[in-house]
Amino acid sequence: MRTESSSNPFSGILPLSDAHCVIARGITAAGQWAVDFPPPGRLKLHAVVEGSIRLSLGTQRRTRLLVAGDVVVFDGGSPFAIGDGSAVSPVHGPRMFARSVDPFVRQGDGRGEGATAVGGVIDLRTIGQDLLLETLPPLIHLRAGTEGAARLIRLLGRLVEEANSVRLGAGFAADQLTRLICIEVWRAHLAEADAPAAAWLRALADERLVPALRLIHDQPARPWRLDELARAAAMSRTAFAGHFKAIAGVPPLRYLHDRRIHQARQALHLENTSVTALALELGYTSPSAFSHAFKRATGMAPRQYREAIRAA
């Protein structure tokens, strides 16, 4: 009998996550304005309801234009800022929200076009939250007019309402909306994801594999042996290899390879780390070995990949 969990790569994760909304607020702004935020360390979403805003993510502070109807999702591991794009000194986001009890906070000098945005931070509350977030790309941009963006904007708007309400059942409603948002996020991700991302989600749904996965994710540069990973999972070498491939769809050491490539892509997207330094960080014997493996996996050399990302 085919169950939902066997046909859906992330159905087993969502009941474990017990996702909870940490904060859901909105900003209404006009004129010149900017707000910056430290890394939230959790799943982060922003949606533009009216007007347009500029988003910068990571240490590079490259800006991206978001227009009404756009939704962005990121893993919460990087600092970010939003604003109108002018060179004004940013307001510290957490302090801004702490000073106001209103669901929506006003920003800007009022002289110019207006914008309204809603956002939320979600704690997945699962044993592998950090690993689960690492399956996401640095940024998911759902553009206005797509079904996924429209659904997320509706859900986020309702979440802001319920998360800041004292009405009966508001907390319960907020938690249910949060879980629906998580479903939409991973639906959007898997619609565009490559095979390794789906394999990671299946593996993370299996609690027996999480200890071994954590070793790989925490120390991707280490030349892990199969017996070391099996020991972490409290399984025999043969049983672990068979179980891992049955769940993830790939052998453990192939998973390690895919994880290194994924981490390299994130670093090339968000950081200025040199290819040589990145090769050493990820455990390759030389920059040329890293470049060869990266090109075989992505079709581009690391420097070409970085240039293509920055030109996008």
Distances (CA, A) of 104 to 9, 218, 239: 36, 38, 54
The 10 Å Cβ neighbour count of residue 51 is 18
Residue-range domain boundaries for the chain:
4-193, 198-311
Domain 198-311, CATH among 1.20.1050.10, 1.10.10.60, 3.30.70.100, 2.60.120.200: 1.10.10.60
pLDDT at 3: 38
pLDDT at 50: 93
Amino acid, res. 154 = R
Name 37's bridge partners: 80
Burial code (b: 16+ CB inside 10 Å, e: under 16) for 168-205 equals: eeeeebbbebbbbbbebbbebbbeebeebbbbbbbbbb
Tokens found for residue 257: 């390879």
Per-residue tens of pLDDT for the chain, all 312 residues: 333 443 444 555 544 457 788 888 999 999 999 999 999 888 899 999 999 999 998 776 678 899 999 999 988 888 999 999 888 999 999 999 999 989 999 999 888 788 999 999 988 776 556 667 777 777 889 999 988 899 999 999 999 999 888 889 998 899 889 888 888 887 887 776 665 666 677 787 788 898 999 899 889 999 999 999 999 999 999 999 999 998 888 899 999 998 899 889 888 877 788 999 999 999 999 999 999 999 999 899 999 998 887 776
Q: How far is C-alpha 215 from the chain's CA centre?
A: 20
Class of domain 4-193: mainly beta
pLDDT at 15: 44
**Which residues 6+ apart lie within 8 Å of 235 measured at CB?**
208, 243
Distances (CA, A) of 153 to 33, 129, 208: 23, 24, 36
Contact 284, 290 (CB under 8 A): yes
Contact 31, 84 (CB under 8 A): yes
- Supply φ then ψ for residue 234, to 5 degrees: 55, 45
0.75 exceeded by pTM: no
